[in-house]
Chain A
Amino acid sequence: MSSVTTPPLALEGVITTQESPSSIVAFVERARYLDVVDALQGEGFEMVSDLCAVDQLTSRARALPEGVAGERFEVVVSLLSLSRHQRVRLRVQLPESDPHLPTLFDRYPGTEAMEREAFDLVGVIFDQHPDLTRILLPEDWEGHPLRKDFAVGRVPVQFKSAPGPR
């Protein structure tokens, strides 16, 4: 039951850091995103266990490995291999002006809801997603609340002006 400690071949040429013996963080460029995911899937990464997006607006100066240019949005995809007992976390940088990323739905159908959530809360657009609508918030909600520039507490409470019992 020991985990594989060697990095998958698919991550050759990708900037990686070792988080723990069974977990690797890889910084993938958007252009190579699908190729890397395809190669990882071919190497026995059966499952996308998590996908979320981070708005790095106020932490532009964050520590990143050399050669990685930090952008405003970051999509974080955790792939899991049951056979290798290994996790690979892909961090994809997306510029503020063009927060688009191809969907993983055709490769991993389980990312459908996760990508919708990332779109709903952070506003990353997943191209070719079958049903990119809001999932947690109402359809007519304005803005994406997990963005750092989303104003908190400005939504009027519906029953605010209702008369009290006395």
Chain B
Amino acid sequence: MTTLDDDAVVVDRPSWPTEETSEGPQELTRRESTDPRQLAREVGAVLRLPEGPALDPTQIDLERPDDETMIINMGPQHPSTHGVLRLMVELDGEVVLRTKPIIGYLHTGMEKQAEELTYVQGSTNVTRMDYLSPLHNELVFSLATEALLGVELPERAVWIRMLMAELNRVSSHLMWMATNGMDLGSTSMMIYGFREREMVLSFFEKTTGLRMNHNYIRPGGVAADLPDGWEDDVTLICDTVEARTYEYDELLTGQPIFRQRTEGVGNLTAEEALALSVTGPLLRSTGVPWDLRRAMPYLAYDRVEFDVITGTYGDNFDRYAIRLQEIREAIRIIRQVLEQMPAGDYRLQDRKVTPPPRGRIDASMEALIHHFKVFTEGFHVPEGEVYVAIESPRGELGCYLVSDGGPKPYRMHIRGPSFVNLQALPLLMRGGLLSDAVAVISSVDPVMGEVDR
């Protein structure tokens, strides 16, 4: 570092320009000062499987002269890192050698906060984690709470939840198509993706009152019934979005530049994906047909028809194709929900769990007491612990809930798919070009709100 010769102004400053913001040992360090096991991890050598291509940490080139490689920092504020993701990459020219994602810039202690909120308030908290698929977060929290309560939901509540979850999958994947197009320089795709997503969000606004962070799916059912004429809105969304996906085919799928930038980039094998606990489209792109909606059905997914989309090569293009096809499969499910939506109640009519209707409060003392109890103290959940997992657009979204019998969770842990999938980055980026790194980050589809929680 160069210093000014005789200027006293610089004395108060830290001796190293990045010291104030340094994350210390969390950062990527030079090879000679890195533990071999950690180095192997950063290189992306993940496999310890008996038959897999295990990489011996001692075989990594420790003595690489430093003037050939350089460590650069990317993010945390970078337009293509999908939020405040910071990457430190070691480069040899333009080739990525090592990568280390540094996270935590969006950490707001939501798991700690959940211990201070009742189960009624809890879904307002979790919905802010994965802000692109908030309904899935609410769903997994509600399912976990209901599993501890041991309650059975009315049919209509289940099907409304499924409708909203699939619509959310459509909007989340559309958002991904938009940002992925942007990362690869296809700005038209960004405009189109956002345009279609807007339709879905408008329907969400009509139903839940908000475009994001809905707090619509709650323990005991959903907050309100679907609005009048919802069938027409949903049919319009299905028809429009489905027709537009074929336009995306023309725009991107067959386009030579797009294919060259995505095919064979960021390869992942099934063994590597499983070893890294990677789920969702990333895992399916390697050819593993694992979808929790099919493998361990929740809601009423065992009563609708849909296909689990898998890829072959595990590259960026497969992940693109899977997400595009999953939009169509989600629409297929939505169409079946439209046909089969049962009549009935949209929430449980158990006054110990859900509040009474507004009209009853004026007429019944009992109802007033229940209303008051639910919204002040909250309902008590029997002691126990449960792990519930659902298939969010990004993979396995799990909720581990521990109750000590009180009205607040004793401990709530969310298994964020992005948090786990992000571990695949060093592997996906190794040996690739820096310009492809942006495409690789995009294909992992991390949502930093969920990574950092």
Please report A residues at the B interface, Cβ cutoff 8 Å.
1, 3, 19, 22-23, 46-50, 52, 54-55, 58-59, 62-63, 76, 78, 82, 85, 87, 89, 105-114, 117, 121, 130-131, 133-140, 145-146, 152
Report how far A157 CA is from B336 CA in the complex, Å.
51
B159 in the interface (beta carbon within 8 A): no
In the complex, which residues of chain A have a beta carbon less than 8 angstroms from the beta carbon of B23?
138-139
Considering the complex, give the chain B residue whose CB is closest to the CB of A122.
B411
Q: Which of B229-280 contact A (CB under 8 A)?
A: 274-279
B448 to chain A, nearest CB (A): 11
Instruction: Contacts A87-B387, A137-B104, A146-B112 known; list 10 others, CB within 8 Å.
Output: A52-B413, A52-B415, A76-B400, A110-B276, A131-B35, A131-B38, A139-B25, A145-B109, A146-B111, A146-B411
List 25 interface pairs A-B (beta carbons < 8 Å), by A numbering. A19-B386, A23-B387, A47-B274, A49-B389, A49-B415, A50-B387, A52-B400, A55-B411, A63-B384, A76-B400, A78-B398, A78-B400, A78-B415, A87-B387, A105-B41, A106-B48, A109-B46, A109-B47, A112-B423, A130-B38, A131-B37, A131-B41, A135-B103, A145-B109, A146-B411
In the complex, which residues of chain A have a beta carbon less than 8 angstroms from the beta carbon of B26?
133-135, 139
B306 in the interface (beta carbon within 8 A): no
B419 in the interface (beta carbon within 8 A): yes
Of B279, B296, B384, B419, which contacts A85 at CB under 8 A? Answer: B296
B89 in the interface (beta carbon within 8 A): no
Please report B residues at the A interface, Cβ cutoff 8 Å.
22-26, 35, 37-38, 40-41, 46-48, 103-104, 107, 109, 111-112, 116, 274-279, 288, 290, 294-296, 383-387, 389, 396, 398, 400, 402, 404, 410-411, 413, 415, 419-420, 422-423, 452-453
Report how far A134 CA is from B104 CA in the complex, Å.
9
Of B107, B111, B274, B422, which contacts A46 at CB under 8 A? Answer: B274
A113-B48 contact given A59-B410, A130-B38, A135-B26, CB 8 Å threshold: no
State whether B295 touches A49 (Cβ < 8 A): no
State whether A49 touches B290 (Cβ < 8 A): no
State whether B48 touches A137 (Cβ < 8 A): no
Among B23, B109, B111, B387, the most chain A Cβ lie within 10 Å of the Cβ of: B387
Considering the complex, give the chain B residue whose CB is closest to the CB of A22.
B296
In the complex, which residues of chain B have a beta carbon less than 8 angstroms from the beta carbon of A23?
387
State whether B387 touches A78 (Cβ < 8 A): yes
In the complex, which residues of chain B have a beta carbon less than 8 angstroms from the beta carbon of A110?
46, 275-278, 420, 423
In the complex, which residues of chain B have a beta carbon less than 8 angstroms from the beta carbon of A113?
419-420, 422-423
State whether B41 touches A138 (Cβ < 8 A): no
Report how far A55 CA is from B104 CA in the complex, Å.
21
Report how far A9 CA is from B218 CA in the complex, Å.
39
State whether B415 touches A50 (Cβ < 8 A): yes
Report how far A122 CA is from B210 CA in the complex, Å.
35
State whether B40 touches A136 (Cβ < 8 A): no
Report how far A140 CA is from B20 CA in the complex, Å.
11
B105 to chain A, nearest CB (A): 9
Report how far A59 CA is from B383 CA in the complex, Å.
10
State whether A82 touches B41 (Cβ < 8 A): no
Of B25, B112, B278, B383, which contacts A133 at CB under 8 A? Answer: B25
Report how far A114 CA is from B415 CA in the complex, Å.
9
Among A1, A130, A139, A152, the most chain B Cβ lie within 10 Å of the Cβ of: A130
Considering the complex, give the chain B residue whose CB is closest to the CB of A48.
B277
B452 to chain A, nearest CB (A): 6
Considering the complex, give the chain A residue whose CB is closest to the CB of B453.
A136
Report how far A47 CA is from B48 CA in the complex, Å.
13
Report how far A108 CA is from B41 CA in the complex, Å.
12
In the complex, which residues of chain A have a beta carbon less than 8 angstroms from the beta carbon of B398?
49-50, 78
Of A3, A76, A146, which contacts B296 at CB under 8 A? Answer: A3
Report how far A101 CA is from B394 CA in the complex, Å.
30
A132 to chain B, nearest CB (A): 9
State whether A109 touches B275 (Cβ < 8 A): yes
In the complex, which residues of chain B have a beta carbon less than 8 angstroms from the beta carbon of A136?
103-104, 107, 452-453
In the complex, which residues of chain B have a beta carbon less than 8 angstroms from the beta carbon of A85?
295-296
State whether A54 touches B25 (Cβ < 8 A): no
State whether B24 touches A139 (Cβ < 8 A): yes
In the complex, which residues of chain A have a beta carbon less than 8 angstroms from the beta carbon of B288?
82
A47-B277 contact given A109-B47, A113-B419, A130-B35, CB 8 Å threshold: yes
B257 to chain A, nearest CB (A): 34
State whether B47 touches A49 (Cβ < 8 A): no
In the complex, which residues of chain A have a beta carbon less than 8 angstroms from the beta carbon of B404?
58-59, 62
